[in-house]
Structure 1
Amino acid sequence: MKSTVFAGILLMSSIAAAAPPKTALVIHGGAGVITRAQLSAEDQAGYEKALNAALDAGNAVLQRGGSAREAVIASVTVLEDSPLFNAGKGAVYNAEGGHELDASLMEGHTGKAGAVAGVRTIKNPILLAEAVMQHSPHVLLAGEGAEHFADTRKEIERVPPEYFDTEHRYKQLLKAQAEEKQTASNDLKGKYFGTVGAVALDRNGHIAAATSTGGMTNKRWSRIGDSPIIGAGTYANDQCGVSGTGWGEFFIRAAVAHDICARMKYRGDSLTQAAEEVLLKVVPEMGGDGGAIALDRDGNIALPFNTEGMYRGWIKPDGSRGVAIFKD
């Protein structure tokens, strides 16, 4: 009897040892005033297809044993290449009728980070952010300097500014400028924002987070939001990873991404407690809005947002997955 029990224990131990470590992935395509009345069934299907494609790209990396950094880059690149989201190809227009793109990336286990801001001719800003992290002594490069650095990296593709032009974003610019003429209000809540991002947990238990955006429609003076700011729109440590989306000025002031991870590390909050406290209380009380995706080292996922909707998707450690857009 004892030998049978012992043999059973050995068998269970060998099965546990053979089981691959857990991986997880969570993505977003921006938060804002997104209601069912605004999206046709065809449009909704298009967004869901794009989100699933981004999940597939990142998850493929994780399943073959790739790093969390590689996984979030794979997911974000897919979203940057889609004209549906405000990043890369689908970037919004600034007040001058051009495009200025931002992106950032951070590894939790190394603390390394890279970011770019205000680039105009980089097809995939997230790849340039990775190059800054991997091949420069800096964290954040901006504007022409960032593009000059891109010229030193053969893997970074440059495109003409017109590559980012899309009809629906141009219509958004015209609408924003018309509304600007009619009102002197500075209230930007729920208007003309968008971002994409991803957070991944790999088989080594490492976490990485990435964010990319075209910024704010009709923005002036080379305005930069939270997306390329480490600790504001993107952050990762050994316990937690976060990518934010929303009114960037408030995410910067509240250091949203860092605050979520810090509440876990220093106060012992759960991922859900930390993320919901910051996104559903701190940011709204300051006057801002938006959402975030967060993932911890156990594969727990949080997706809080205080807007009408947030494009989002996830693959949990047990392999279950989903995409969603609206609150319900």
Structure 2
Amino acid sequence: MTDYPGQAAPRDFWALTCDPLRECGDGEVVAAIDTVSIDPGMSGWITNKRSYMPPVKPGGVMRAFGVGELVESKSDKFAVGDWVTGLTGVQTHGVFREGHLRKIDASLAPPQKFLSGLGMTGFTGFFGMSDIGQPKQGETVVVSAASGAVGSIAAQIAKAAGARVIGIAGGPDKCAYLQGELGLDHAIDYKNCNVGEALAQACPDEIDLYFDNVGGETLEAVLGLMKYQGRIVVCGAISQYDDFAGAQGPANFMSVVTHSLSLRGFTMADYMHRVPEALDWLVPAWKEGRLKMREHVVEGIEHFPDAFDMIFRGENHGKLLLKVNG
């Protein structure tokens, strides 16, 4: 297994192959994969560092969440024509055990939405904010990477709870989206200002709750402005993904002790049994226009390396997806 963290992987790290499908056995299905999700967590999946999932083996299909339509079924749970989602991998077709996929209702929304706000990123934002963060009316909530797939959902949930929400994003277009489209109270462009100073101005009464997607210097800046007994939800640390082994904590980490802060990390593995609960909130909120979600779609499986690099350069506007069939 390579020691390359995701964004540092050379171009020849990836190979596009054309391989025959194995035969579909009892309790299995064949899916034509329509779209796969490109996520920051992929970086950890191609290293040999300790993580919540084992690394992808050399020569294996790159791990990815996807949606697809069944073209063959030897399962009592699924029929040909069903739309499904799961860890399909970055491939156009695959044979899967029935227990590895979940049926989705394509009549509710376009299938790709189940990789976006109605999928893993939506679930992550929902549970991270509502279950762990628990924003309250009148609180000050800060969300980093707030224009991203997870951050945008988390920020909107905090806003729906009556909190004052400040989003951090990179570039004027993304900040305009946060305030103009998502209705956040303030947006901070980390590419064009001092984040610590901007946060101090935007949060004169300090911060009750921080939803962290980036770690690094942004987390350090927020720690210096947290209220006594404030809460921090650690969802990701994309600023550290280029050096898993050498990732550093914030210099002022003792603020967690001096201000009696609660800091909790999580992954969706903690919440998979509660997915229906998330959908019960997300689907009607989206249909009624109370929840906005945006996708950035790259066409063609051959463009996976470009899409993978794009997410670490912050070039995507919304949930980054790769359409592999169609």
TM-score where L is the length of structure 1: 0.27
TM-score where L is the length of structure 2: 0.28
